[in-house]
Structure formats: C-alpha cells, structure tokens
C-alpha cells in the first residue's frame, strides 16, 4: 500500500490479481479504479506484488505470474493506461522500492537477487 506525493491517492496491491486506487479525503477512502488485467507481455494468471506512485503521478506495479518471474508495468493518465511493461526477473519479486526522485525502481527476488530498473 502507498499514498501518493500529494496525499490524495492510495494504491493497494493484492493477491486477488488486482491493484486498487482510492481517493483519500481526510481519513475516508473512496474507490476510484481497479486494475485487474495482466501486464502487456503476460497473459498468464498473476498476482500484483507491489505498487508505487512516481513523483509525476505514474503508477508502477510489479506482478508475479503464477508460472514464475516478475513484470514491471508503468501506468499513467486518468484511466491508468499501461504505457510500459517489461519482464524484470526470472524469479518472483519479494521486495520492491522506488527511489525518492522516482528515477529508479529496486526489486529483490525470493532468491536474494537485487535488480535496479531505470524508469526514465
């Protein structure tokens, strides 16, 4: 779960194959959008593992297909359209983090490997 930089949106990543975006007003969450389709290059069943907002308002998600590996997907715009998707690991991701400047996304796999992805 993450709150975006202007503290108006919250995103959650779930094992039910969805990421959900909520509007945050005071302490009330209002559902806005549910992302439930696979990354561009992955038509297999998958689980969202992590979701994070960039400083520019894009959403970055990491998903783990049930057959293994991991995909990073970048979403943007009011409709949260996919603008980039790439396989980032052959092993499932167990940890992830976005750099403060939103230029790099770090992932850690269940095998203990770490990869840095340039988002620009």
Burial, 112: exposed, middle or buried (Cβ in 10 Å; 0-12, 13-18, 19+)? exposed
CA 55 to chain centre: 14
Nearest-angstrom CA–CA distance, 2 and 44: 26
Structural domains of the chain in order of their starting residue, each with its CATH number? 2-118 (2.130.10.10)
Whole-model pTM? 0.82
Mean pLDDT value of segment 79-103: 90
- Confidence class for position 99, pLDDT limits 50, 70, 90: very high
Q: Is the pLDDT of residue 91 over 80?
A: yes
- What's residue 102's pLDDT? 92
């Amino acid at each position: 779960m993450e709150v975006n930089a202007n503290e108006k949106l919250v995103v959650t990543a779930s094992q039910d194959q969805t990421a959900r975006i909520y509007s945050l007003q005071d302490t009330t969450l209002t559902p806005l959008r549910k992302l439930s389709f696979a990354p561009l290059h992955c038509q297999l069943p998958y689980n969202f593992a992590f979701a994070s907002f960039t400083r520019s308002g894009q959403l970055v998600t990491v998903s783990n297909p049930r057959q293994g590996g991991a995909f990073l997907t970048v979403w943007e715009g009011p409709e949260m359209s996919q603008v980039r998707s790439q396989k980032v690991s052959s092993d499932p991701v167990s940890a992830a983090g976005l750099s403060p400047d939103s230029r790099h996304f770090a992932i850690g796999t269940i095998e203990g490997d770490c990869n840095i992805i340039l988002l620009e």
